[in-house]
Amino acid sequence: MDSLQGHLLIAMPSLDDSFFERSVIYICEHNEKGAMGVMINRSTNIVIDELLEQIGLANKTELSLELEESVLLGGPVDTDRGFVLHTPQQDWVNSESVSEFCMLTTSRDVLNSLGGKDSPKQFKVALGYAGWSKDQLEDELAENTWLTIEATPELVFNQDIEQLWTEATKQLGFDIWQISSQVGHS
C-alpha cells in the first residue's frame, strides 16, 4: 500500500447529494490502520476570532491581526474538536509533520498564537475530520469515489475555498466531467 499522506482526495462528480459532494480532503495520515484527513473547502458559519473567543483564547494584543477567515468544516467526525493545518515551525512540539510544507495539530498553544507574532505564516482551522478504517479508503478509491493528486502549498493554503474543487480537478489534466463513475473489471 502506498501512503496518500500529503495528498488531496478530490470527490468525483458522482458523489453528489452526500456530505462529501465536491469536497477536497487533505490526507494527514494514511497507514495500515486506516486514514485521516481534513476537508479544506467547506466553511462553517463561524470565523476564527469568534472560535478563539468561544474557547477562551481571545488573544487581543497590539500585535494581533483580525482573524476573519472562516473556520472550516473538516469532516463529519468529532466536529467539536479543532484541528489546525499550518506551515512548519520548530517551536510546536505537539504538531505532527504531514508534508514538507504542512503540519497538523490539535494543540491549544498554536491556536493561542494565531494572529500574534509567533503565529505560523499560513494556517487553516477546522472543526472535525474525515476518517477511514482499515482498507476503507482503498475500497472507495477502487470504486471511483475519489481521485488523488499530490497536495501543494498553493492548493492547501492559498486557494479560495469556493474554487478549490474546480482548481484541484484542473490539476488532473483532464475534464473531470468527461469521466465515468463506473468501475471496470477485466
Instruction: Note whether 43 and 105 are within 8 A (CB).
Output: no
Q: What is the pTM of this model?
A: 0.89
**What is the tens place of the pLDDT at every residue in 20-54?**
999 999 999 999 999 999 999 999 999 998 888 88
pLDDT band at 59 (very low <50, low <70, confident <90, very high): low
Whose cell is 501512503? That residue is 3
Cα maximum dimension of the chain: 65
- Residue-range domain boundaries for the chain: 7-178
pLDDT band at 66 (very low <50, low <70, confident <90, very high): low
CATH architecture of the domain with range 7-178? 3-Layer(aba) Sandwich (3.40)
Cα 138 → chain centroid: 19
Cα 132 → chain centroid: 15
Whose cell is 478509491? That residue is 141
CB atoms within 10 A of CB 67: 19
Q: What is the arithmetic mean of pLDDT over 120-146?
A: 96
**Average pLDDT for the chain:** 88
Cα–Cα distance, 154 to 108 (Å, whole number): 26
Whether residue 118 is predicted with pLDDT greater than 80 in this model: the reply is yes
The pLDDT, as a whole number, for residue 117 is 84
Whose cell is 467539536? That residue is 80
